[in-house]
Amino acid sequence: MDATAALGLAGTTLASYFAIMNPISSTPVFISLTEGDDAVTKRLVAVRSLAVAFGIIVAVSLAGNLIFKLFGISLATLRITGGIVLFIIGYQMLQGASSHSHKPSDADVADSKDAQLSVAVSPLGVPMLAGPGTIATAMTFAAGGWLHIAISLASFTVICGVTYCCFHYSDRLVAFLGRNGMNVVTRLMGLVVASIGVGMLLAGLDHRAAVPG
């Protein structure tokens, strides 16, 4: 892979992770789950939730090829499935609501009140940050080989940094954008996610047609 192709892949992975994780729209959820906590606790929750998400994506990326071989999953099949998952999530976001796969349940929120830091693992770490869409994206990029894995993980690290900044300055961000601004961001990210999903789906169909079976 030449430098131009590598830069193009880096741009695609960055856009994919940013759109599917949607740090800006995740911020109000972070605020609601850490309401009443002090600054130190909020910082710990943010760091731990991102560490959980990062660990999951690293594991999925490194074990991706083994999983493919174990279950007989081809790259084309993964692209088609991942594309469908991303399109559904993007469509839900276009309707002005967060994806159900990223939205914590009432039970999760209620249980989290028993331990302040428990929200770092669930629902923040999983499924909000490392949800089905994020995992499908990571597995799809990981299927391309070690260079793809390295670029994918580097891009995910950058987005984790952006997400931490959003969480750290969450009160200011929400106050600046307001409810309408957050809805606009969610819809725009939904369009991006849906478009990426269609692209993955078409790439998978093309690959399937070129390499039957």
Closest CA to 83 of 210, 186, 194: 194
Higher pLDDT, 68 or 119: 119
Give me the helix-helix angle, 3-21 and 146-168, nearest 10°. Answer: 40
pLDDT recorded at residue 56: 93
Q: Is the pLDDT of residue 155 over 90?
A: yes
Higher pLDDT, 211 or 105: 211
Model pLDDT for residues 26-58, shown as the tens digit of each residue: 888 788 788 778 899 999 999 999 999 999 999
Question: What is residue 78's three-state secondary structure?
Answer: helix
Mean of the pLDDT values across residues 2-28?
89
Instruction: Give the separation between CA 189 and CA 83, rounded to whole angstroms.
Output: 15
Which residues lie below 8 Å from residue 137, measured CB to CB, with a gap of 6+? 13, 16, 17, 20, 82, 86
Residue that the structure tokens 């929400």 belong to: 174
pLDDT recorded at residue 186: 76
pTM to 2 decimal places = 0.74
pLDDT band, very low/low/confident/very high, at 115 (cuts 50, 70, 90): low
